[in-house]
Structure 1
Amino acid sequence: MAEFVEEIRERLLPEYEQMKTLGICPDDQIRETKRKRENLLNKIFQSQRSVADYADFIRHEKLIHKWITEKERSQGQNLSELKHSIVTRIIKLYREGLRFCPNEERLWDNFIMFSKKSIPHEVTGIYEKMLAYHGDKPTVWCNAGIWVHENVGNIQKVKEIFFRALQRHPDSEALNITFFIILLKEASKMSCTPTSKTTPSEQELGLERAALVYRNSKTKISNVFYFMKLLKGCEGEQYVNITASLQKEIIDDLMINFSREESVWDALAQRELQGLSMIDLKSTSLKSSILIEENIPQKPILATGDAEKSQTSEDREDKLFPKGKSIWQVRTLKRRIELCVHVYQVGVRTVPTATMFSNFINAMLKLNQDLTNQPILKRKCLAIAFKEGHTFKLMNEDHYYACIKMLLKGAKGVENATKMLTEATHLKKTLLYYEMWMVVYMTENNDKKFLEIFRKAKDQLEPATSVSLWRMAITFFKTRPSEANEKFLKFFKDAAMQLSLEFAPFRGDYLEYISATSTLDRTRREYDELSKMPPPCLELHRKMADVESKALSVFRVDKSRWRKCYENATHYFGKTNSQVWIDYIKFERDQGDPKNMAHLYERAKSTLDKQLVDNFMTEFTLLKAII
């Protein structure tokens, strides 16, 4: 260790001389740099050093290197020798730190990241040393293999790394997927021409290696998403044609082992939409072909009588793969949508779950976001998805909402929407269903039906959850003709009189409306009644105080009614809200009797929770200062 520190000190001397000679920085800055480095050297020299001490020294040297680089750029000098010396020191610090603490994985990662820019030819060797200590982590093996493949190009070395890795981690999904994709990349570069009639081509041999990795892994890994990732890997533009048989094999295994998984059917349906049809992969030995292709509709979903062309010019040109180079038949958008829908229909019958129907409907909703091509077909497919989800009683609330919106745009929209909502609420009584139902009758201005659904919802839902329905009813009747005004007021007051805490805000709103449309006497009567109703509502008292303040300026009435609002607020909220006391005191100071301020101050201190008293006293002191 002493030799290592002494070597660093010796190599630093020429650097300081060069910095001084080239005028990179003044003498005092050089002295400060020396001092910092000496402190850092002393830390790594002591017996109780830690990996953090090495990290601090390395971080400092990187900052110096960055600073030198900026100087080189700004002054136009060539400082490559100086920078090289700093880089060499950083590398030595990394190596010494890793000798001291080889189990520190983050230090290895930082060393490799630094080495990829400074000494890329040594990165493979660094990975090998790291694997000696961290070979228990599949990610390290993956990173090593990827580096060798992408930067060294030695496929034999790549294979050696992954074979060693898989001996230690045979069930690692990351290792198997990474190795599989690398082998596909290599196969895509190989010649597809066989050297003789009996000898397979290099590409076929390369693909067989990838297939062997897959077949070996599937005996150890039973996660459906692993198989899905491998299938997705085969769909890359470079591999989608050459991996046809491998795709078929993976799909067959998925259908044999995971045919009850919703994600499998979703992926297969999306493949049909992309143009990767099972029809092009069919084989009599495959269960997947039997399941998916059985009863594939030969007639289009869109009837010939529909006013939409079965093929547009864009459909005919919609080729996903280069002509003459693809094993995939080029199909129109219309046909791909039909095949996609068919797979979803098989899926929802095989796996009749809410998730499966959700996947089906979401896919159709996404299709309908762009109606440039095949709009009628897309809408019809969405209608099919909604109908099947509703028939199987497995459609969620959001999808019912989207379905109702669609139904209302069509002929007999209200009738169809009402029928669907009636059936939906028989299955599950939710706030959203009733909200949708009430909106249907709001758009129709049907008071009678609207009121009928509102009452049904009020009876069947918990009061605390139905606040939004009350607001809808109040808004609806407020916009109705003047003869419905009494009905509106009744709804408004009924909402204000509800005993659930969630309804308290209605009281302030109701009082505000009464004060704007009726007499002061009626407003006071309503306030007196509402102020006695649980639960208490602070906004009610504040709004009545505002009403009284305006009445006093107009009618010069007694202030006792105004004071009553503040008294009520402190009675109900004086324990937990210091502001109600401040407001009351301000009233007495500005409008009432300032002599009452001291009495209110004492009442507040004895009433408020202890943790609120100090803050109240501070605010009161500020109020007195203003007087």
Structure 2
Amino acid sequence: MAEFVNQRIEDMLNELEQMKRIGLYTDEEIKMISKRRKDFEYKIHRRVRCKEDFLKYVGYECVLLQNIKLRREQNKISDKKNDIEYTISKRVIKLFKELITRFPNDLEIWLNFMEFCKSVQNTYVITGYLEKLTQIHGDKAKVWQLAGRWEYEEMNSLDSGRTYIMKGIQRHVDSQDLHIDLLRIELLMAEAMTEDDLVTQMTRINLVVDFALKNVQSVDFIIKMCTIVNDFSFATDVRTKLFTILWEKYCDDSDAWNFIADCELKNKDVGGFDWLSLNSNAFTSHYPSNLESFVNVHETAISKVPTRKSVLNYINSAIKLIANTEFGMATKLNTMNRAFTTGHTLKLLNEQYYKLWLDILCSDSVTGRDKILNILEEACQNIPSSEFIWLERLKRCTNNSNDMMILFKKAKLAVPTEKVASLWEYVITSTKDITTLKKLYQESMMLPPKMASTVKPLLLKSYHENSGIDFARSEYKSMAITTPFVIELHNAMIEIEKCEKVPNAKHLRLCYNLAIQQFGSKDVDVWLRCVEFEIQAGHPEACGALYSRACSNLNDSVVSTFMSKYSEVINRN
């Protein structure tokens, strides 16, 4: 084996010498490449050969090719590509061939082989292996599709591609993808034919369509076929046949209507069907005719197929108009607004769609505040548990504190307790009246601890902002001893005290001590923060007593953690 491996390495010397000669790699790098290859060669020529060793070798060579490409671009080197890249590509292809021979049942190897050959523009190699691929993996419709597409897309051979697709259909008669690809190939062949030959080919195409529809029956399949045929102007009869079947069989399917609306928007032929006759209240406007038809189709669909899906198809299609450069922004916004209004009227919008709609309404200077309020009020009735919708209503009551409190009371009854945090936060930060804030505090005493940890600090900060430090201190003492106890309240008061021009050590010490009394059995950090405070306040002698108290009061499970962190604090200060 050693002689064989050495021979393989010698065969690589020319490309390595060329890499060095043109300045792609240094002597050290060349030696490293040679060593890695030698290691791989020994591994793949062992008595028991492992798939992973081959794959790693292939991976290494592919990375090397990428690195060579990068270095050529950086150093503007274009020489000796045949001696270097072409030789490496041949080696990788040889490795793939051996992999396929030894592990033919691994489809992933075949797919990687095809991808590599495509990347190095050596597509002819794969053509010789497609027959073997379909023999081994012919039980998978995807493989026949891959083989067919390789021939007609990579090799520009429609005949060979059609052969593989038709063989695939014989084994997988219900495969949508194979029938779709066969129709596409037949249409591409017809496109290149003379007028005399086209008549015969169109007969063949009709047979292909009939056979496909006999074996695959779904609205998605019909839509895919219509989409393909729409790209070929000469296929008028086929188009009419497909659209007729679409209407006759699937006129109660929202996806069919959605497709027709899309065709109207793109000015595609819909087979001559007069869908407008189904709508006695057709929408007329100054819109371009294709957009007007788009709106009418969707609204007709909702009247004929009044489902949530019909409405969401309308809205989602209208949202996609944003990327359409054919229409002005005002027209697009009006269309989206109309679609959202339809969904809102039918009570079929969810919270996410209300968020999108509100963004549109707020960006439209024509939409008045009262209209938005009416929409939000009705939205609360449609989705009473939506925190977002109630919050948007509250935001529009800022000028009237009494109205906001009445609305907040309704919101608390409708929204689950665990989801009202943002409502509490908005109301507290928006309220300036101390009496109202104190009422809010009384109500907050019934909140669960998790919610209280958010609400209590917010109230304390509002007390400070609206009535000053003395009032905040007074209320803090009361709030601190009222359950549920929350560490965030003490932290908020400490921050307030520290923001004073001259922080008051006496009041700060009170905050730290109250935190220790309530959380000193489990929370190591409350003790450490107090230790740091005493050091910074110029009383390091107090740390010893704090240390002893902490070791006595903390649970045994966290004492060692405290001792370790205490030492870090002392050393740091």
Alignment of 1:477-496 (within 5 A): 477-478=431-432, 485-486=433-434, 488-490=436-438, 493-494=441-442
2:211 is aligned with 1:228: no
Aligned to 1:161, which of 145, 164, 167? 164
Contact 1:348 / 1:357 at 8 angstroms: preserved in 2? yes
1:566–1:584 contact (8 Å) kept in structure 2? yes
Instruction: Tell me the C-alpha RMSD between the 2 structures.
Output: 4.2
Q: Which residue of 2 aligns with 1:110?
A: 112
Corresponding residue of 2:488:
539
Q: What residue in structure 2 maps to residue 568 of structure 1?
A: 514
Which residue does the alignment assign to 1:348?
302
Distance 1:260 1:622 in 2: 73
Alignment of 1:574-585 (within 5 A): 574-585=520-531
- Identity fraction in percent: 24
Which amino acid in the other structure matches residue 121 of structure 1? Y
Residue in 2 that maps onto 1:177: 180
1:14-163 aligned at under 5 Å gives the runs: 15-16=12-13, 24=21, 36-60=36-60, 78=80, 80-81=82-83, 86-116=88-118, 117=120, 119-163=122-166
Tell whether the 8 Å contact from 2:337 to 2:361 is kept in structure 1 after alignment.
Answer: no
Q: Distance in 1 between matches of 2:15 and 2:365?
A: 83
List per-residue Cα deviations over 1:370-428 (Å, max 9, x = no partner): 89957887666556544543443323345456666777879994555555555444444
Calculate the TM-score normalised by the size of structure 1. 0.75
CA 111–469 in structure 1, closer or farther in 2 if over 3 Å, else same: closer
Label 1:371 to 1:402 Cα distance change in 2 as closer, same or farther (>3 A): farther
Instruction: Spell out the pairing of 1:271-350 with structure 2 (5 A cutoff).
Output: 271-278=263-270, 281-282=271-272, 289=273, 292-296=275-279, 301-302=284-285, 310=286, 334-350=288-304
Displacement of 1:125 after TM fit?
A: 0.8
CA shift, 1:429, in A, is 1.3
AA in 1 matched with 2:96: Y
After superposition, the C-alpha distances for 1:265-298 in whole angstroms (9 at most, x for unaligned) are 22211211221253xx22xxxxxx47x2324569
Change (3 A) 1:181 1:605: farther
Would the alpha carbon gap of residues 453 and 134 (structure 1) be closer, same or farther in structure 2, given more than 3 Å must change?
A: same
In structure 2, the CA distance between the partners of 1:624 and 1:450, relative to structure 1 (3 Å rule), is: closer
Cα 1:53/1:380, change in 2 over 3 Å: closer
Residues 452 and 486 of structure 2 are in contact (CA less than 8 Å); yes or no, is this contact kept in structure 1?
Answer: no
Structure 1 unaligned spans of 5+ = 195-201, 283-288, 303-309, 311-332, 479-484
Give the secondary-structure state (helix, strand or coil) at the position aligned to 2:133: helix
Alignment of 1:468-617 (within 5 A): 468-478=422-432, 485-486=433-434, 488-490=436-438, 493-494=441-442, 497=445, 499-500=447-448, 501-515=450-464, 517-518=466-467, 522-546=471-495, 553=502, 559=506, 561-591=507-537, 594-605=540-551, 608=554, 612-617=558-563
Partner of residue 236, structure 2: 244
SS of 2:214's partner is coil
Whole-angstrom distance in 2 between the partners of 1:406 and 1:31: 64
Residue 532 (structure 1) shift:
2.2
SS at 1:540's partner residue?
helix
Summarize deviations over 1:437-487 as a string: whole Å, max 9, x none.
334444xx3455444323322333334333333333344443xxxxxx345
CA distance 1:255–1:490, change in 2 (3 Å):
farther
Aligned to 1:307: none
Deviations 1:182-216 (A, max 9, x none): 2222222223x23xxxxxxx334434444433332
Cα distance in 2 for partners of 1:413, 1:31 equals 75
Corresponding residue pairs, total: 564
Q: Which stretch shows the higher mean deviation, 54-63 or 426-435?
A: 54-63
Task: Look up the match of 1:327.
Answer: none
Name the aligned partner's letter for residue 220 of structure 2: F
Give a deviation string over 1:348-386, Cα, whole Å, max 9, x none. Answer: 122212232122234445557889957887666556544
1:265 and 2:211 matched: no
Q: Does structure 2 retain, via aligned residues, the 8 Å contact 1:566–1:580? A: yes
Kept in 1, the 8 Å contact 2:421–2:454? The answer is no
Instruction: Look up the SS of the partner of 1:218 in the other structure.
Output: helix
Cα deviation, residue 124, structure 1 = 0.7
Q: Any unmatched runs of 5+ in structure 2?
A: none
- The SS at the match of 1:294 is helix
Residue from 304, 311, 327 that aligns with 1:357: 311
Q: CA deviation at 1:626?
A: 4.5
